[in-house]
Amino acid sequence: MRPQELYDALDRELESIKEQKTFKYEVPLESQQGSEVIVGGRDVVMLASNNYLGLSNHPRIKEAARKALDEWGYGLASVRFLCGTEPIHIDLERRIAEFVGCEAGILHSSAFSANEAFFAGLLANDLGSTAYQDAIYSDQLNHASIIDGIRLCRGIAKQTVSRPYPHSDTRRLAAMLEEDRDKSYRIKIIATDGTFSMEGDLAPLPELVRLAREHGALLMVDDSHSTGVLGKRGRGTHEELGVFGQIDVMTGTFGKALGGACGGFIAGRKPLVEFLRQKSRPYTFSNTMPPMVVAGSIEAINMIETDPAIVDTLHGNTEYFREQIVRLGFKIIKGLHPIVPVILGEAALAQDMSRELLGEGVYIKGLWYPVVPKGEARLRAQISAAHTREALDRALAAFDKVGKRLDVI
């Protein structure tokens, strides 16, 4: 294809995506991100962001960022091993590692790039072995960044074997590990999201910890949706499930509960983290997090550690919304995460309902096939500590009204 033919083909493709109703439109916000936002000149309740603790526009976070801007400047203008490293970056690495129950941590510009970095950074090295194969056991519903990380790794470290297992199916995983016993893989990694974003369900971490120990595997958990969210102290899915401190490698984001700007991390044992500091390509070839965001992320950790009430408020709001939406007659996927999937069935219904809810002052997004199984189209509500009961009630009243109008309840 010549360039013009290519652009024409892309235009046709975009048209077809619109016809299939899978085109991703972006809604312009006329305000800061928050528990309530302004859309089309109107105040609406935000139920579609990962701003679980309401820190994205919190005065303390903004103040910390402002101070860091003055003290440490706008950016570092290169990667840390070339241009130097600021103490706040080292501090955040120490703080986040401790927060998620690991020995050491390394920052990346996003969780996506942290996950991309991890597998290849670790496995594309002979580490003194001559002939070897490594195996990665990965939950089939893992986040795109884990999937891409494994793909990239297999592109670079061709001896890496990918072993996807059915979602949260620890029986099947145990059987696969058993089958592989005499294959004498050099390194085995079990990789999972801590909390899965489509259903808000938790990975069976206690069983995964047990299997990892039994088979000498490394357990890697990407807890992006639950760092700062689950567990009494907001430490994550592992705290919630009673295995805090028992995960070999934790990855996650500063772009959700911990401030919502950007940035990601890998945390684990010191030798692993220091090795990745040498070998992670996104770390060694791409700029580090800006000082403002680093300081904002540290302040987010300060806030959660010194006053867990913010986490309690999130849990209280989540419980309230889950109870009330069921009371109205909606079907949800049960659980305890602030991700609350409201099941509707057909994609068209989810689309109509999302549009009409916006008209009634609620910002919520629908998910449908192929992102979720056919016939399980849904709206995904995400609750925040910053939602007032009044705002949640307003959202619930809108659900009631639109649900009746569209014959859902």
Ligand X SMILES: *Cc1c(COP(=O)(O)O)cnc(C)c1O
Would you call 286 a catalytic residue per the annotation? no
Closest CB to ligand X among residues 253, 357 = 253
User: Does residue number 111 form part of the binding site for ligand X (CB under 6 A)?
Assistant: yes
Give min distance, CB of 184 to ligand X, in A.
Answer: 31
Site for ligand X in 175-214 (CB under 6 A): 193, 197
Among candidate residues 241, 142, 240, 139, the one with its CA nearest the CA of residue 198: 142
Write out the chain in H/E/C secondary structure: CCHHHHHHHHHHHHHHHHHCCCCCCCCCCCCCCCCEEEECCEEEEECCCCCCCCCCCCHHHHHHHHHHHHHHCCCCCCCHHHHCCCHHHHHHHHHHHHHCCCCEEEEECCHHHHHHHHHHHHHCCCCCCCCCCEEEEEECCCCHHHHHHHHHHHHHCCCEEEEEECCCCHHHHHHHHHHCHHHCCCCEEEEEECECCCCCCECCHHHHHHHHHHCCCEEEEECCCCCCCCCCCCCCHHHHCCCCCCCCEEEEECCCCCCCCCCEEEEECHHHHHHHHHHCHHHHHCCCCCHHHHHHHHHHHHHHHHCCHHHHHHHHHHHHHHHHHHHCCCEECCCCCCEEEEEEECHHHHHHHHHHHHHCCEECEEECCCCCCCCCEEEEEECCCCCCHHHHHHHHHHHHHHHHHCCCC
Selecting among 145, 197, 280, 297, the annotated active-site residue is 197
Interface with ligand X (CB under 6 A), residue total: 13
Task: Report d(CA 343, CA 403) in Å as an integer.
Answer: 12
User: Does residue number 52 form part of the binding site for ligand X (CB under 6 A)?
Assistant: no
Would you call 197 a catalytic residue per the annotation? yes
Which among 19-27, 109-117, 327-335, 390-398 is the span making contact with ligand X, rule CB under 6 A?
Answer: 109-117
Selecting among 108, 215, 225, 337, the annotated active-site residue is 225
Query: Which x/- pattern over 245-264 shows residues binding ligand X (rule: CB under 6 A)?
Result: --------x-x--------x
User: Does residue number 80 form part of the binding site for ligand X (CB under 6 A)?
Assistant: no
Candidate list 80, 89, 143, 387; residue touching ligand X; CB under 6 A:
143
Selecting among 256, 315, 337, 387, the annotated active-site residue is 256
Give min distance, CB of 50 to ligand X, in A.
Answer: 7
Which among 107-115, 151-159, 239-247, 385-393 is the span making contact with ligand X, rule CB under 6 A?
Answer: 107-115
Candidate list 35, 56, 110, 168; residue touching ligand X; CB under 6 A:
110
Candidate list 72, 112, 321, 399; residue touching ligand X; CB under 6 A:
112
Which among 65-73, 221-229, 295-303, 328-336 is the span making contact with ligand X, rule CB under 6 A?
Answer: 221-229
Would you call 56 a catalytic residue per the annotation? no
Candidate list 56, 145, 160, 226; residue touching ligand X; CB under 6 A:
145
Which among 9-17, 173-181, 199-207, 219-227 is the span making contact with ligand X, rule CB under 6 A?
Answer: 219-227
Candidate list 224, 227, 288, 382; residue touching ligand X; CB under 6 A:
224
| Residues within the interface to ligand X (CB under 6 A) | 110-112, 143, 145, 193, 197, 222, 224-225, 253, 255, 264
| Active-site residue set | 197, 225, 256
